[in-house]
Structure 1
């Protein structure tokens, strides 16, 4: 999975998770970030408006 606009590094994710009591290694942090970017990408999709014709 390749995201062009990644704003959070793996190291930053590890630090942030550790501050919240979650201990992860680099591989796990990368997976978590990929999941979050994927969710973010799907969340930002514009909803299609259905036009009902009479």
Structure 2
């Protein structure tokens, strides 16, 4: 398990701080459900989308 902000930063989507802003704005979804700040994901099992793009 990894924190969503860290995962987005490692993928090059945004920095951890910028990722928090994306999540708070409702632009990040995990398995088609809006993400929450502090959420942990399993990169092998969960599908993460930012602005609808995986």
Q: TM above 0.5, one fold?
A: no
Looking at both structures, which has the greater relative contact order when contacts are Cα pairs under 8 Å and sequence separation is at least 6?
2
Between Structure 1 and Structure 2, the one with more strand by share is 2
- Give the TM-score normalised by structure 2: 0.30
